[in-house]
Structure 1
Amino acid sequence: MFALVDCNNFYASCERVFNPNLQNKPVAILSNNDGCVISRSDEAKTIGLPMGAPIFKWENYCKQHNIKVISSNYPLYGDMSDRVMKILAQFTPDVEIYSIDEAFLQFKGFESYDLDDYGNQIRNRILQWTGIPTCVGIAPTKALSKVANKIARKFLKETGGVYVIDSEEKRIKALKWMPIEKVWGIGRGLQKKLKAAGCIKAYDFTQLDSEMVRKKYSIVVWRLQQDLLGKPTMELDEEKDKKAIATTRSFEYTYSDIENIKERISTFATHCAEKLRKQKSSCHMVIVLLRSNKHQHHLEQHRVSKTVILPNPTNSSLTISKCAIEAVKTIFKPGIEYKKAGVILTGLVPEDNFQLDLFTKEDPKHKPLMNAIDLINQKYKSNSVKLASQDLQRTWKMRQERLTPKYTTNINDIIVVK
């Protein structure tokens, strides 16, 4: 059996843990630079605030309906997510972290367990230890556990937040209730094709001829159909090292001077290099991106990228930052107001296993230097040691005018009980 544990309105729930005054009130969380709505409480959904709403257009609407608008607090959300995932690992060793607020669990050897009761234990422990409300869907396959979770969430009072599909009757009833567009793994393109084939509910999809589904669509769609039929074809994904590492950010303001952009690119490249060392990898290629503000239609637009192939694979911040800065010099266009930039590292290989070059090699001092910098930044404070090409007084420059304290990750923001 598989379980999908999903945190309810995760970002809003994290804020409510430390500010109980937000309970039962409409809450909206904004994206980077306070751009648009990326998370809403149930109360905000009921009022009619849409997902993705640009806040500058919906500001008055939020004030009229007393919707509390908050800047995204990713250090807090990441820490709370980590706590939830560690609790889930206490219930089974087989856990796949699917996103920041949901995870799949596999129950091997739990045949004698009352899974409905076990799901309630999971839900209650997470709520008691973190204050985050969750819903739990349990079923014979991953796709069906998604369906079960949606039922638990939709009918919260009737299910108590836990629903188990443990019989053929429950499976058929659940699939006849689930609209085809809500099925996990069915995007807009596939949705149109399936509706044209007469599939309105998930159950209709399972009634299509399996061999036809495999030939007409793809093996992935066939596996999804088999999963919905109760035949496990999708196992838990093992945690793997990333095949590419990226840092892309929108600027707080538009920049038309190359010095500011070089500083940002250097910071992004350094951040990528730190991630690279963390997973003990090196990279062969550095890709630098530059974007103007696409919303300012009256201004000249410029979208460009540059790929640099390194002579040796490296994870040195010095080498990667230098290459990124040289690349951005060649693609920068004077007179353009840039709003976004990014650095992508790809062609990843293990740091201790790659083809050596007979004629070129990196300075051997880089490796111990990077280790020392990582240890200092880890022990004291992130970005305690920076490159000279970075602004020493600057971190991520994002507009966060409604940011709440980092209650669990910053000693100065810890709640004081008086």
Structure 2
Amino acid sequence: MYALIDCNNFYASCERIFRPDLIGLPLVVLSNNDGCVIARSNEAKACGIPMGAAAFQYRELFKQHNVQVFSANFALYGDMSNRVMQTLSNYCIDQEIYSIDECFMKLDGYDFVDLKEYGIRMREEVFRNTGIQVSVGIAPTKSLAKVANRIAKKYPKESNGCHVMRSAAQIEKALKWLEIEDVWGIGRQHAKRLFQLGVDTAYDFTKLSDQWVQKNLSIVGLRLKRDLSGIPTLDLEEVENKKNIASTRSFDVNYTTFDQVQERVSTFSSSCSEKLRKQKSFCSSITVFVMTNRFRVEQVQYQNSITIDLPFATNSAIELSKYATVALRRIFKEGYAYKKAGVIVSNFTPDDVEQMTLFDNRDKRHDALMKALDLMNKQYGQHTVRLASQGKKKWTMRQEMLSPCYTTKLKDIITIKI
């Protein structure tokens, strides 16, 4: 049996833990630079605020419904996530942290355990330790545990926040209830195609032939079909090094000059290099993209990207910034108001395995320099030491409605007078 534990409206819940006066009020959390809605409370959903809504387009609706608006506080959310996952780790050794707000557990050897009661105990302890409400779904496979979790979240009173599916009748009923676009792993385009074929529910999907599914949805779709059919196919995944690393950001204001965008791209490439060093990898390719603000329809629009292969594998911030600038020069055009840019590094190799070339090779003197840079930035704060190409200004996100970091900064800890 597998369990999926999912935090309810996680970002919104984190904001409410330390602000009980917000309970019952519609609440949204905005993305970097307060651009788009990335999280909504149930009350905000009822107001008709869609996920991904541009904040400036919904200002009047926010005022009309007294919507509480917060900038994303990832330091707070990450710390609360760690506390939730640490509590859950006491219930099962085999745990896969799937995202910041959900994890899978493989409940092997729990044959004589009342899983319904076990799931409720998880919920109660997580809430007692963190104040976060979670939903628990338990079933014979990972994808069915996802379905069970959805039922637990949809019907919290009937399920007491924990739904267990064991029998074939329970599974069939759930699959007939779940619409195809809500199936874990079925994207929007695949859902449209399946609708056209008369596949409306997850149950309909399991009745398709293996040959058709593999041909049209690849081996990934076939594994999902078998998993939904009750055949354990998707196992817990071990944490692996990333195969590509991205650093992207919307700007606080529109940038029109090359130097402004280049400073940001240099910063993004430096961030990627730091992440590469943390996972002990080199990269051999770098992608740079730029784009204007698509929400400003009155402005002339432009977007472009380019990928270049590096002459050698590296994780040096100096070398990556150099080639990111080369890439940017090839796609940057004057006369546009740029709102977003990003850097993506890929084609990784371990940093202890290096293929030398006859002419161009990385500068090994950078190894000690990068080590010292990482050490100083860890001790004195991010970007304390940085490249000259990143400019003198310390770039920060807009975050005009940022809540305190209640659990990660001493100055923000709540004090109680007794």
With the length of structure 2 as denominator, give the TM-score of the two structures: 0.94
Matches within 5 A, 1:78-227: 78-215=78-215, 217-227=217-227
- Mean Cα displacement is larger for which, 192-201 or 240-249? 192-201
- Mean Cα displacement is larger for which, 335-344 or 384-393? 384-393
What residue identity is the alignment partner of 2:232? Answer: P
- Once the 2 structures are TM-superposed, how far is the Cα of residue 289 of structure 1 from its aligned partner? 1.5
On the 8 A contact 2:73/2:403 being kept in 1, the answer is yes
- Mean Cα displacement is larger for which, 213-222 or 110-119? 213-222
With the length of structure 1 as denominator, give the TM-score of the two structures: 0.94
Which residue matches 2:414?
415
- Once the 2 structures are TM-superposed, how far is the Cα of residue 151 of structure 1 from its aligned partner? 0.7
Alpha-carbon distance change, 292 to 227 in structure 1, aligned in 2, over 3 angstroms: same
Identity fraction in percent: 50
1:394 and 1:100 mapped to 2: Cα distance?
28
1:311 and 1:213 mapped to 2: Cα distance?
41
Match of 1:84, SS? helix
What residue identity is the alignment partner of 1:138? Answer: I
Which residue matches 1:291?
291
Match of 1:247, SS? strand
Match of 1:174, SS? helix
What residue identity is the alignment partner of 1:266? Answer: S
Alpha-carbon distance change, 301 to 58 in structure 1, aligned in 2, over 3 angstroms: closer
What residue identity is the alignment partner of 1:173? Answer: K
On the 8 A contact 1:281/1:351 being kept in 2, the answer is yes
Match of 1:339, SS? strand
1:327 and 1:37 mapped to 2: Cα distance?
31
- Once the 2 structures are TM-superposed, how far is the Cα of residue 212 of structure 1 from its aligned partner? 4.5
- Once the 2 structures are TM-superposed, how far is the Cα of residue 195 of structure 1 from its aligned partner? 2.9
Which residue matches 2:400?
401
Matches within 5 A, 1:58-77: 58-77=58-77
Alpha-carbon distance change, 93 to 321 in structure 1, aligned in 2, over 3 angstroms: same
> Does 1:30 find its partner at 2:30?
yes
Alpha-carbon distance change, 84 to 325 in structure 1, aligned in 2, over 3 angstroms: same
Task: State the superposition RMSD in angstroms.
Answer: 1.9
1:27 and 1:386 mapped to 2: Cα distance?
37
2:392 and 2:123 mapped to 1: Cα distance?
44
- Once the 2 structures are TM-superposed, how far is the Cα of residue 254 of structure 1 from its aligned partner? 0.8
1:78 and 1:149 mapped to 2: Cα distance?
22
On the 8 A contact 2:383/2:394 being kept in 1, the answer is no
1:214 and 1:306 mapped to 2: Cα distance?
33
2:215 and 2:314 mapped to 1: Cα distance?
44
> Does 1:373 find its partner at 2:379?
no
Q: Give deviations 1:252-271, integer Å, cap 9, x for gaps.
A: 11111222212111111111
- Once the 2 structures are TM-superposed, how far is the Cα of residue 169 of structure 1 from its aligned partner? 2.1
On the 8 A contact 2:373/2:385 being kept in 1, the answer is yes
Which residue matches 1:316?
316
What residue identity is the alignment partner of 2:195? Answer: K
On the 8 A contact 2:274/2:374 being kept in 1, the answer is yes
1:19 and 1:389 mapped to 2: Cα distance?
41
Gaps of 5+ in 2: none
Q: Give deviations 1:197-224, integer Å, cap 9, x for gaps.
A: 3333322332334455445543332222
1:187 and 1:286 mapped to 2: Cα distance?
28
- Once the 2 structures are TM-superposed, how far is the Cα of residue 110 of structure 1 from its aligned partner? 1.7
- Once the 2 structures are TM-superposed, how far is the Cα of residue 133 of structure 1 from its aligned partner? 0.7
What residue identity is the alignment partner of 1:415? Answer: I
Which residue matches 1:21?
21
- Mean Cα displacement is larger for which, 161-170 or 326-335? 326-335
- Once the 2 structures are TM-superposed, how far is the Cα of residue 348 of structure 1 from its aligned partner? 0.9
- Mean Cα displacement is larger for which, 27-36 or 148-157? 27-36
On the 8 A contact 1:386/1:392 being kept in 2, the answer is no
Match of 2:119, SS? helix
What residue identity is the alignment partner of 1:289? Answer: F
Which residue matches 2:47?
47
On the 8 A contact 1:272/1:345 being kept in 2, the answer is yes
Match of 1:96, SS? strand
Q: Give deviations 1:342-383, integer Å, cap 9, x for gaps.
A: 111111110111211243433332111111111222223222
How many residue pairs were aligned? 417
